[in-house]
Structure formats: structure tokens, C-alpha cells
Amino acid sequence: MTVIGVVGAGVMGIGVAQNLAQTGHDVVLVDTDESILTAALDGIRTNCRMSPFTGGPRLDPDDVLGRIRTAVGVAGLAGAELVIENVTENWDVKRAVHTELDAVLDSDAVVVVNTSAIPITTMASVHGRPSRVVGVHFMNPVPAKHVVELIPGVHTSEETVERTRRLLHAMGKREIDVKDACGFVSNRVLMLTVNEAAFLVHEGVADAASVDEVFRGCFGHPMGPLETADLIGVDTILYSVEVLHEHYADSKYRPCPLLKQMTDAGLHGRKSGRGFYTYDGGAARAVA
């Protein structure tokens, strides 16, 4: 029986685990604390119940959750044939996790890095077998977003790419092949847009609702950049912009101070209940 490991039970890890389970895969979901894992399973149950009301398929929560078991620590992934890592967009945190993964996993296990900006070759440098490391940039919410970026590193083998491609197709995904570069395609463009939109609010040019309405009303975007920031996570946006700024040493990626302030204040968007908008179970209301 093929077992897929999922590291990190945050927003992205929950989405990846659910997507795998609802497409018939057996999953081991790991994180650092049992309470995080309990909350993750509760979140997946809620997502399954809400799926038909948000344009998704009708799902049996018990069937989906029946395919997911949890474990504290990456030692629980021993024997997994493929692992998808989804921890926070911070090099020090990711490096520590990948060091542990390299020590635990079998030599032929594939390690998929789900990252917003960090180059895959950088992540693979932690591993004794970099040919088994590949990047997949999943979009949020994972079960509803059917297109991903597939990013081989310098040393990634063709076998690793093809094994990952087969899994993505089994998950109902269509991949776009992208070369390994910090931010890839999506976030090299998106993070600049979100960061500049935050600057508009920071400088008092317009409030968040007005910035987003320009993108919806003038450009036909279904969601404005600051709504998108709240969906992704304001903290994740900040970390991604910081990675781009450090990697390219280009002032165009300078992080907006408002993103830093909001991250420090715990205003991380939908997952915390407040970001550029507040979320209280009803319609979102702009606060920034």
C-alpha cells in the first residue's frame, strides 16, 4: 500500500492531506504537537462538510478522515514512499525539517517541497540524495485549485519528476513545468503585486477594500491582492517577500512595513480571523 506523508498541519498541509485522501490515497499527517493535529482533523472535517457549498464535490468526512492518520514528529513517516513538506516559509525551519527527513526516509523516497519562493536546489542541498527532491507549488485552497507549478532542482532525477507527475494527476492536478528560480513564476509576480498593494494602504492612498475593488472592477480579477493576502496568510506573504528580497538583493522586493506590523500583531488573515479584513463567520469586512 502506497503511503503519502504530509509534513505540516497548517493551512497548506491540511489542504494537501485532504486532497490526497479524497482522491483515494492513504496519508500520514505529521506536525510537532498533538493539539495541532487534532485541530487539523477538525478543519478537514469542516472543509469536507462545506465542500458542496463552495463549488466542490460532495464528500463524506468520515471516508476522507478514515484515510488520514496522524503522528507527532517526522519519525512517523518511516516507510513513506513520497513525502510532501508544507512547513512555514522560513529557511531555518525548513532546513531543520529536511535534515530530519533525510535521516528518516528510505533512500528511494521522494521528497516534494511545497514552497512559495525558496529555490528547490537550496532545499535539496540539505539531502544526501538531492536527486529525490522536487518542488511543487500548490495553490490555496489546495483541493479547489487544480493547477500547480512543478519545479525540478538542478539534481532532480527524471524518475523523481515522473513519480511526482503521476501523483499530481491522481490528485486531479494539472502541472506547469517551471525552472528553479526563487519565487518561480507565480510568486515572483504575485508577491510584488501584494506587497505594492500593501504599500498603498500603508501610505494612505486607498483602503484595502478600494484597492481590491480596482482589481475586481477594472481588471476583472475574481479576488483583489489584499483579499488574496488574507487567504494565503499575511505572515506567509511577508516571509515570501523577504526571501525574494534576500535572494535577488533588489529593492523592488523590499517588504512593506505594514506586512511586518500585521504579522507581529498576529493579524494573519483568514486563519487568525483578522488581516486586511475581519472574518467572523459572515461577510468579510475591511479593517485596513
Cα 113 to Cα 21, 152, 161, distances in angstroms: 19, 10, 12
Is 113 known as a binding-site position? Answer: no
Is 13 known as a binding-site position? Answer: yes
Is 8 known as a binding-site position? Answer: yes
H-assigned helices in the chain = 11-22, 34-50, 61-65, 91-104, 120-124, 158-170, 186-202, 208-219, 225-232, 234-248, 257-264
Is 125 known as a binding-site position? Answer: no
Return the amino acid letter for 282: G
**From CA 225, how far away is CA 159, in angstroms rounded?**
37
Is 271 known as a binding-site position? Answer: yes
Is 116 known as a binding-site position? Answer: yes
Is 89 known as a binding-site position? Answer: yes
The catalytic site residues sit at: 116, 137, 149, 187
Is 31 known as a binding-site position? Answer: yes
**From CA 150, how far away is CA 165, in angstroms rounded?**
8
Q: Output the DSSP codes for 188-231.
A: HHHHHHHHHHHHHHHTTSS-HHHHHHHHHHHH--SS-HHHHHHH
Is 35 known as a binding-site position? Answer: no
**From CA 46, how far away is CA 229, in angstroms rounded?**
22
Instruction: Please state the φ and ψ torsions of residue 87, each to the nearest 5 degrees.
Output: -80, 175
Is 94 known as a binding-site position? Answer: yes
Annotated binding-site members for NAD(+): 8-13, 31, 89, 94, 116, 140, 271
Annotated binding-site members: 8-13, 31, 89, 94, 116, 140, 271
